[in-house]
Copies of this chain bind each other. A is one copy, B any other.
Amino acid sequence: MLTIYDIAKITGFSPTTVSKVINNYPDVSDKTRNKIKKALVESGFKPNAQAQFLSTKKTWTIGVVYYEGVGIGLAHPFFSYVIQAFKHRVEEYGYSLLFGSKTDRLKNSTFLEYFKYSRVDGIVIISTEEGNKETEEIINSDFPCVIIDIRNNNAATVSSDNEKGCKLAIDYLYELGHRKIAHISGGFGDRNWSSTTRIKCYKEAMNNLGLNVPNGYIADGVNFDYSGGYSAMKKLLKLKDRPTAVFAAGDKLALGAIAAIRDEGMNVPDDFSVIGFDDIELARYVTPGLTTIRQNSTELGRSAADILVEQINQKKKLTVNNVIPVELVKRDSCRKIN
């Protein structure tokens, strides 16, 4: 591979001048600049990013943290859209994405260690448990960072307006005449912020309408997953005072719940109304079309990117909690009763 020394030799100028041309310094004559630029293009020269970093301390790289253990992986039907939007936005700023790894080679047990090694300019965390040690470690480090899908007083975060979303869902079911409304939660015990928040807001929304939440009306959907929704719904179906409607904390949960209802020989929306959360791509392609609360994945990603880059540029960590609006998307999985 060519170096700036090679270009210097070819053009007869010094490596410094070549470097200046590459980095658009003003103090180079047009004549020289053009000559060097020409050589640069003709030779297909690419600067060496690692060597650049050694001088500039900037890798133009953002580290990405997924906690796959809790089902939030690359393949997540909702967060993958968020990270895609995030990627596009940071690319506009000139950054690329590096995925955090724990490898034997580095004997690194945490993401932070990996990012220290690879010297990323900033870190984005996709959905974390509250109080997660790795997350705390990153928040307390010098790395600029942003966390998606949680709120935290000591960090920059971006999350959906869960409060509003839950209220929209419950109020809508109420409008349709439902009074017995159950909730399938995202699970993870009390560690998952989205899950606990939606449970809390579900209760509040019920309360505001004067509805009570009988025992067993909050069913644990485990990993925000199809199978979690499936088994949670099975439990709800065993209740002697069955609900007429179910508000699921995620679309996968809702789809799992619908599968469970179907397996019991019943039908949505005739026997149960089901409403989800997220609006994943296929929500509109299933039968029945899934009524849900749409989270704006694009805006979540973009906003996270903006906050992160702002911190990098300002060289200081910010503590803002951006909240992104949600909306109710009516399809066919809920119906009017009575």
**Chain A residues close to B by CB (< 8 Å):** 1, 46-51, 53-54, 59-61, 68, 73-75, 77, 80-81, 83-84, 87, 91-106, 113-114, 116-119, 226, 230, 252, 255-256, 258-259, 262, 281-282, 284-287
Contacts and interface: CB of A to CB of B under 8 A. Distances in A.
A286 B87 CA distance: 30
A119 B49 contact: yes
Copies in the complex: 2
Nearest to A74: B84
A84 B76 CA distance: 10
A309 to B, nearest CB: 12
The 5 closest A-B pairs by CB, nearest first: A94-B105, A75-B80, A50-B50, A96-B101, A46-B116
Among A46, A256, A258, A284, the most chain B Cβ lie within 10 Å of the Cβ of A46
B94 A83 contact: no
B46 A54 contact: no
A266 to B, nearest CB: 12
Nearest to A81: B75
A78 to B, nearest CB: 9
B91 A84 contact: no
Contact of A59 (B50, B106, B255, B284): B50
A97 B101 contact: yes
